[in-house]
Structure 1
Amino acid sequence: MDREQLLREVNYKAVKSSGPGGQHVNKTASKVELQFDVEESAGISEEEKSRIIEKLESRLTKGNILILQSDESRSQHKNKEYVSQRFLNIVEEALKKPKIRKKTRPSKASKMKRLKKKKMNAEKKAGRKDPLK
């Protein structure tokens, strides 16, 4: 994965932000929207593309385009930095290969400990019963 290449392939669009802010919000486009076409990217291999599509399936559009938005700051430049960093983090997380689980068996000592605890619990509960019955 080539980070610089990915950032070159991203399309940014500035839009008017919602929420409080008075007149400033109504006249400035500080919210930044990032669009990334996974299938058209040259910065990632075919294998990586399929992994990203699989992992980010719920976040992609029907055309396999990832859309992220940021309106945390009143500054368009800061929002662009925030959304770019978030984009790179999301892509890196999607490309991580999961660790393969190794099958293990409980040890003999752990089995004995479990059975001992079980027996103690059974005796405790048996001690609560009415002795006349």
Structure 2
Amino acid sequence: MIRVTHRISIDESELEESFVRASGPGGQHVNKTESAVQLRFNVAASPNIPPEVKHRLMRLAGSRLTQDGVLVLVADKHRSQMRNRVDAQERLIDLIRDAAAPPPPPRRPTKPTKGSQQRRLDGKSIRSTVKKMRGRGSDE
């Protein structure tokens, strides 16, 4: 069991890992080994995730989510397969934690106070008089 939050845990049997060849630096080593990890997690069918978290997770996943509700994460940052596996699992856990946090309440707009409105208008009139004084003098 992978502990995500105090309420949510994921069974390791729900994760499906496949290994592919990674691109990038590494020379001949990268051409021979399958060090990149493709982690698949079926969000839609997971019994361990509450429905509201599932909904937010599917929204957060974006293009990483297939039409069947499977989340696909590809980790090929490191040259080691083991480090890529850990990286993919950590990214999945972070994504689920982000989805588990409830969204903040919507912002309620407030009105400016009378004093702040008056200060703003006073500043504008002062600035206006300064600019009027810059004009050319009369030819008298």
Instruction: Tell me if both proteins adopt one fold, taking TM over 0.5 as the criterion.
Output: yes
| Alignment of 1:43 onto 2:27 | no
* Number of the residue aligned with 2:115: 109
Alignment of 1:52-63 (within 5 A): 52-63=57-68
Q: CA deviation at 1:68?
A: 1.0
Distance 1:13 1:47, change over 3 A: same
Q: Which moved more, 1:97-106 or 1:31-40?
A: 97-106
TM-score by length of 2: 0.81
Q: CA deviation at 1:81?
A: 0.7
Aligned residues: 132
Distance 1:80 1:109, change over 3 A: same
Distance 1:8 1:130, change over 3 A: farther
In structure 1, what residue type is equivalent to 2:122? Answer: K
Kindly report structure 1 stretches of 4+ aligned residues shifted beyond 3 Å: none
CA contact (8 A) 2:64 2:73 kept: no
TM-score by length of 1: 0.85
Q: Distance in 2 between matches of 1:10 and 1:81?
A: 13
Alignment of 1:1-133 (within 5 A): 1-5=7-11, 7-100=12-105, 101-132=107-138
Name structure 2 gaps, 5 residues minimum: 1-6
Q: CA deviation at 1:103?
A: 3.2
